[in-house]
Amino acid sequence: MAQKVQVLLVDDLDGSEATETVSFGLDGVAYEIDLSSGNAGALRTELAQYVEHARKSGGALVRRRRQRNGAGREQSARIREWARSHGHKVNERGRIPANIVAEYEAAH
């Protein structure tokens, strides 16, 4: 005998039939809620005033550790010292421009 299984999506707020699952994040936590089109619209309307003034932080809702690539602080310090002695302006901190790194590597 054949069986047919149906999954009915139910609105998490009022128990009516849900038409979509809405994903959102707050304070680093990702949430999903099943809502009818009316309740989904109401949620988007409520959040719209905050979204208008917010800035996007990327596609992911969770923070990822930033990985440092390159040879590390000591190597960066050597490159900065070399660059200054060869007339280049480089900041004390932050990314060293790729053209300066390339010149340093070509010289060594």
Fold of 8-56: Wheat Germ Agglutinin (Isolectin 2); domain 1 (3.30.60)
* pLDDT tens per residue across span 26-77: 888 999 999 999 999 999 999 999 999 998 887 655 444 444 445 478 888 9
- How far is the C-alpha of 36 from the C-alpha of 40, rounded, in Å? 6
pTM attached to this predicted model: 0.49
- Where is pLDDT greater, at 34 or 2? 34
Note whether 8-56 and 73-107 share their fold.
Answer: no
Is the pLDDT confidence value at 14 over 90?
yes
Supply the Cα-derived Rg of the chain in whole angstroms: 26
Q: Which CATH class is domain 73-107?
A: few secondary structures
Ranges of each domain in the chain: 8-56, 73-107
Query: Greater confidence, 2 or 22?
Result: 22
